[in-house]
Structure 1
Amino acid sequence: MNRPLPVATTAQARRYARDLIRLHPGMFRAVIGLHVAAALAGLAGPRLLGDLVQGVHDHAPMSELDQTAVAIAAFVVAQALLIRSAHLASARLGERVLHRLRTEFVSRVLALPLSRVESAGPGDLLTRATRDVDALAQCVRFAVPETLIALITLGLVVGALVLVSPLFAVPLLVGVPFMVAGTRWYLRRAPGGYLRQNAAWAEVTEGLAETVQSARTVEALGRGHQRIRRTDIALRHSWRAERYTLRLRTVWWPLIETGYVLPMVLTLLAGGWLYLHGRITLGALTAAVIYVQQLVDPLDRLVGWLDELEIGAAALARLLGVAAGPSPVPAGTPETGSNRIEVRGVRFGYEPGREVLHGVDLVLEPGERLAVVGVSGAGKSTLGRLLAGVHRPSEGSVTVGGVPLTELSPERLRAEVALVTQEHHVFIGTLRDNVALVRPAAPEGEIRAALTAVQALNWVDELPDGLDTVVGAGGRPLSPEQAQQVALARLVIADPHTLVLDEATAMLDPRAARDLERSLAAVVSGRTVVAIAHRLFSAHDADRVAVVENGRIVELGAHDDLVAAGGVYATLWRSWQGETREGAPGGRALS
């Protein structure tokens, strides 16, 4: 069962948001200043319009009325220019903040232990990298500045209304209970609702990603209806989660609208009564009514974008949660004394209470070639991943030069031990960039030598642009065999002292695989190699063979000695040799 990545707390998200603002204090002050100036320019219009109405009522000179009209037009133009400048400043600040958020998110993802990524499954991480990032972008670009504008405008409009006459503040108080009670009710429920909504969508993405990746297997086994049912169940969960947040909005929004419609009605009634009794002028009444009307737009904006803020806050908590778990590496990276790898009393299980490895002991001397064999499900690949530092042992230790692999930083770990499986990814870019991924500054001579070592240079030179041919999505497609050779060439460039090859040549035909392994053996001579053997000729060529059965190493020794002993390995060897003689090229796959 997949274990979703953690989610940051509300306090952590708020602290991170405050830290982002502190990184750009000048830009933030400029944004606030421009929005305040725009709001102040907007406040002059209603007051001047009230004076214009009063002037008409009092039969003021036409020149005075013209001056008032020109002043109104000037403030309207000034407000438009200030609003444009404020929006541009907000956009610049938002893009800088968003750039930092995305960069840090990618850094957090790349710093995660591979085991943590695998246990979370592709759906959770993919949803955070797409849907949550998009939601946060919407929040940073629009929701934050619009909410800021709304709050500033509200405060200034209320202040201007009080300056017209403090009596006009009384109707506003009628709407406050509706707004405060409704907003508090909403904010208590919205964060959890949106987190559940995002998690439910991750479940949908997880199922779709698994189905697409395993489409051939699903079709071959006739499990299409089962996958459709799983997707339907995930969609029902997502629908229920979204229905809950929709219900919150359908309760909250009417309360807010009631909160600002009532003050408007009461202002008209109370203002009319005051005017009729000579307590205020017609101009003051006009200005007050327009100011109250002006409260509608920022309140509408605040209600609409506050919902987006909650969505963005949930997205931010999920993005920050990628690194919220315990750090896989303590502070500082100790020096390794040698390249000797020792496995002592190792136990491991992917789920609590279900061990895969049971008390494994193994010592790998520098420069040794070890083949790990056994039937499917014996624990070979799990052992290989522990040797590569992908997983932490539940008990026991895996050390290199006396230092536990779990105490090495990711960069240092990959310089010591590298894992290559039959699952490879071709990145968008040139073939040169793909091969030199581990060391981008590698000269062309080393890149070509690496491709020669994995017998790939011939087909590379036949490409239209050679090493500069664009491959990956949208570029020239590579066959599974070619992608595997590119991955092995990366390994040659990386040059770690220990290699863990988990069926690294499984995509090649048996004869080509054996030729490639021999060529690769010459290149990595002097390095420790652990080969999870897919075909037993890998075991025949190794210095030692470890036979894994039911999560234990049941036999360990040289090929000839194990065959002569007549145990588990001898049985596997005879079976493989028999199938080879019957015409199965390269023998039976054991894993």
Structure 2
Amino acid sequence: MIGVAPPAHDPAAPESATTLPVAGPATVRAYVRELLRRHRRAFVLLVTVNAVAVTASMTGPYLLGGMVEDLSAGAAEVHLGRTLSLFAVALAVQAVFVHMVRLRGSVLGEEILADLREDFLVRSVGLPPGVLERAGTGDLLSRITTDIDRLANAMREAVPQLAIGFVWAALLLGALAVTAPPLALCVLVAVPVLVIGCRWYFRRAPGAYRSEAAGYAAVAASLTETVDAGRTVEAHRLGERRVALSDRRVAEWTQWERYTLWLRSVLFPVINATHSLVFGSVLIIGGVFVLQGWVSVGQLTTGALFAQMLVEPVGLILRWYDELQIAQVSLARLVGVREIGTGGADDGTDPKGREVRADEVRFGYLAGNDVLHGVSLKVRPGSRVALVGPSGAGKSTLGRLLAGVYAPRSGAVTLGGAELARMPAERVRRHVALVNQEHHVFVGSLRDNLLLARTDAGDGELWAALGAVDADGWARALADGLDTAVGSGGLALTPAQAQQVALARLVLADPHTLVLDEATSLLDPRAARHLERSLATVLEGRTVVAIAHRLHTAHDADVIAVAEDGRISELGSHDELVAAGGAYAALWRSWHR
């Protein structure tokens, strides 16, 4: 078939815009089977109710065929009144059960969709932070919004309608085979046309829809990144470049949209031709059979009506199966997060202590471009280690490795002898916590935001945590105290207050090892210094790795590690490093000028 060609570039190319995986067919099938097992009772009920509705719908053709048979046989009386009464009863039964089919189908679709949303949300929340950071917001956002929206229609309509269509078609074919067996063979005339057309379409459609979805994700990623970094784009005059990138990605996406539309424009005429062939073959071949005396006129009438009724379920199956091709891609993208490990293979090893070690660690965000080059560092339990150095030296990256957010490309990061990369994320978080410059205030009350760290904490503990980070003053001044609504639609917290809430969560979580990556960066220097003094009592006895540009933090540390070009160039106390006159001493002098 000749027509619109797919985009010239590799169909998989748009998928490279994300590091989140797309589930393979086996994973998708396994998940679908799991959903059907969860809802097998509702599914069986839907099929049963639909079978009754379809059986009632076949009463009319059967009664009409019987009347034609009687008339052709020269019957003097056709019992029209009885026939009409039976037809009215069948029609009433059909109406009631069709209503039940729609109701049960909608309920089943909503239940499946609710399960899917919940599964995806739970799995997404449990993903390792490093995975989400690498993937960026664009792809995850498109999965949460666009893919869920596409699946909503499929779950509400396609799954129930396909079940209805298959039951409907099977019962009609069975009735046709029982009523007029020779006419059932007429249906086979249209099968080659339908099979060839569907094979052509479904060989191309899944890959095209997958590339279309990935193309949309690339568009969303480009727009999200541009909006989030709007000031940077403006400052560096990158507007034209970002617009050109968005235009290119939109063009690629629309190419795939146009291609999938063309595929459907070929499929639908094939379906229409199949319908005509089925009905036409029944009439023509059936007419020959009547002339030969192989079937009666009544059988032909009933068979023709059954064949005509086949048009709707076959069209229903193909139409919603096509919808499922789109939904299958979205489902594969949503189920893909199930293929991501949640924090290591878990070799069953528990930490045998609190010492954190990095041994010859190498790590890079891109293949062949390491950020850390053979870094080794030992952090004794209960000590305070400060990581300092120029921007881009690898401090934050090393901090994330020590917190178990990232896994090293080579080397090992261990806690008490156990590799963090091989421990489940939840277990890592019980021991080690990371607090960085980024923070988020969730929609809800101030209490809800704090209870995220420990759900069983009482009000006294919540106030104590706020007091530990100097936040109890403004929190007690709120009209509703801990019940004050914050976040979008509620009280807008200042960046400094939001950061204090994040630190209060840290106090409540109570891990024994903390990695603080510029945790007080949004406070002014005086307030930050005051908060750090308040936190000192909270941090007493804990292992703390602090990443900071404010060198007073380093001054108070037990050990200072100076990072330069992805390596630890100096290690020692403040006095030792100042006396050494190296990189740290130069930073200290610059800080005090």
Counterpart CA distance in 2 for 1:341 and 1:2 is: 35
Secondary structure of the residue aligned to 1:152 is helix
Which of 46, 52, 56 pairs up with 2:61?
A: 46
Give the C-alpha shift of residue 379 in structure 1: 0.7
Q: CA deviation at 1:391?
A: 0.8
Residue in structure 2 matched with residue 16 of structure 1 by the alignment: 31
Q: Which residue of 1 aligns with 2:511?
A: 496
Q: Deviations over 1:388-414 (max 9, x none)?
A: 011111121111111111122212111
Alpha-carbon offset, residue 474 of structure 1? 2.1
**1:581 alignment partner in structure 2:** none
1:300 maps onto 2:315 in alignment: yes
**Which position in structure 2 is the counterpart of 1:437?**
452
Report the TM-score when normalising by structure 2: 0.93
Q: Percent identity?
A: 49
2:121 equivalent to 1:106:
yes
> Which residue, 340, 355, 358 being the options, matches 2:355?
340
* 3-state SS of 1:486 partner: helix
Matched ranges for 1:271-350 at <5 A = 271-272=286-287, 281-325=296-340, 328-331=343-346, 333-350=348-365
How far did residue 217 of structure 1 move?
Answer: 2.0
> Could you tell me which residue of structure 2 aligns to residue 225 of structure 1?
240
1:80-109 Cα shifts (integer Å, max 9, x gaps) = 211222232333333333333222222322
Is 1:545 the counterpart of 2:546 in the alignment? no
Q: Which aligned pairs between 1:456-535 and structure 2 lie closer than 5 A?
A: 456-535=471-550
Which residue pairs with 2:51 in the alignment? 36
Mean CA deviation greater in 341-350 or 164-173: 164-173
| Map of 2:155 onto structure 1 | 140
Deviation at 1:3, TM superposition (A): 4.3
Distance 1:574 1:557 in 2: 17
Distance, in Å, in 2 between the alignment partners of 1:468 and 1:406 is 39
1:125 to 140, 146, 154: 140
Q: Name 1:366's counterpart in structure 2.
A: 381
Q: Which residue pairs with 2:19 in the alignment?
A: 4
Q: 2:444 touches 2:485 (CA, 8 Å); kept in 1?
A: yes
SS of the equivalent of 1:438 reads coil
Per the alignment, residue 166 of structure 2 pairs with 151
Letter in 2 for 1:417: V
2:227 paired with 1:198: no
Using the TM superposition, give the Cα deviation of residue 436 of structure 1 relative to its aligned residue in structure 2, in angstroms. Answer: 1.8
1:427 and 1:53 map into 2 onto residues whose CA distance is 71
Aligned partner of residue 563 in structure 2, secondary structure: strand
Match of 1:408 in 2: 423
| Secondary structure in 1 matching 2:378 | strand
Distance in structure 1 (CA, Å) of the matches to 2:415 and 2:256 = 48
User: Superposed, which structure 2 residues align to 1:55-94 within 5 Å?
Assistant: 60-61=76-77, 64-94=79-109
Once residues 354 and 281 of structure 2 are traced to their aligned partners in structure 1, the CA distance between those partners, rounded to angstroms, is: 83
Query: 1:364 & 1:38 partners in 2: Cα distance?
Result: 72
In the alignment, what sits opposite 2:227?
Answer: 212
Q: Answer with 301-310 or 264-273: which moved more.
A: 264-273
1:296 aligned partner, one-letter code: V
Verify: 1:386 aligned to 2:398, yes or no.
no
Structure 2, unpaired ranges of 5+: 1-15
CA distance in 2, matches of 1:194, 1:344: 45
Q: Which residue of 2 aligns with 1:179?
A: 194
Report the AA paired with residue 66 of structure 2.
Answer: D
What value does the CA root-mean-square deviation take over the aligned residues?
2.0
Once the two structures are superposed, residues 157-203 of structure 1 have per-residue CA deviations (whole angstroms, 9 ceiling, x without a partner) of 12222333233234322211111111122222222122111111111
- Post-superposition shift, 1:53? 4.9
**Quick check: 154-163 or 202-211, which moved more?**
154-163
Whether contact under 8 Å (1:2, 1:121) holds in the other structure is no
- In structure 1, distance between residues paired with 2:244 and 2:57: 56
Once the two structures are TM-superposed, the CA of residue 503 in structure 1 deviates from its matched residue by 1.0
Q: List runs of 5+ in structure 1 lacking aligned partners.
A: 579-591
Corresponding residue for 1:161? 176
Residue pair 1:333, 1:409 contacting (<8 A) in 2 also: no
| TM-score, normalised relative to structure 1 | 0.93
Partner residue in 1 for 2:12: none
**2:177 paired with 1:189:** no
Cα offsets for 1:444-469 (capped at 9, x unmatched)? 11111111111111221222321111
Tell me whether 1:571 sits opposite 2:586 in the alignment. yes
**In the alignment, structure 1 residue 252 sits paired with structure 2 residue 267:** yes
Q: Distance in 2 between matches of 1:2 and 1:254?
A: 35
d(CA) in 2 for partners of 1:207, 1:472 = 26
CA distance in 2, matches of 1:392, 1:476: 38
Among 374, 388, 391, the residue aligned to 1:376: 391
Is the Cα contact below 8 Å between 1:55 and 1:65 reproduced in 2? no
Query: What is the CA-CA distance between 1:2 and the residue it aligns to?
Result: 5.7
- Secondary structure at the counterpart of residue 387 of structure 2: strand
The superposition leaves residues 98-131 of structure 1 with CA deviations (integer Å, 9 ceiling, x where unpaired) of 3332222223223322222222221122222222
The equivalent position to 1:238 in structure 2, one of 224, 231, 253, is 253
CA deviation after TM superposition for structure 1 residue 259, in Å: 1.1
What SS does the aligned partner of 2:408 have?
A: coil
Structure 1 position 286, deviation (Å): 3.1
CA distance in structure 1 between the aligned counterparts of 2:464 and 2:30, rounded to whole angstroms: 50
Equivalent residue letter for 2:84: A
SS in 2 for 1:441: coil
Contact 1:431 1:468 in 2 (8 A): yes
Shift in CA distance, 59/398, structure 1 to aligned 2, threshold 3 Å = same
Residue 346 and residue 192 in structure 1: after superposition, are their counterparts in 2 closer, same or farther (change >3 A)? same
**Cα displacement (A) at 1:34:** 1.4
Q: Offset of 1:272 from its aligned partner?
A: 4.8
CA distances 1:329-365 after superposition (whole Å, capped 9, x unpaired): 2245422121111111111111121111111111111
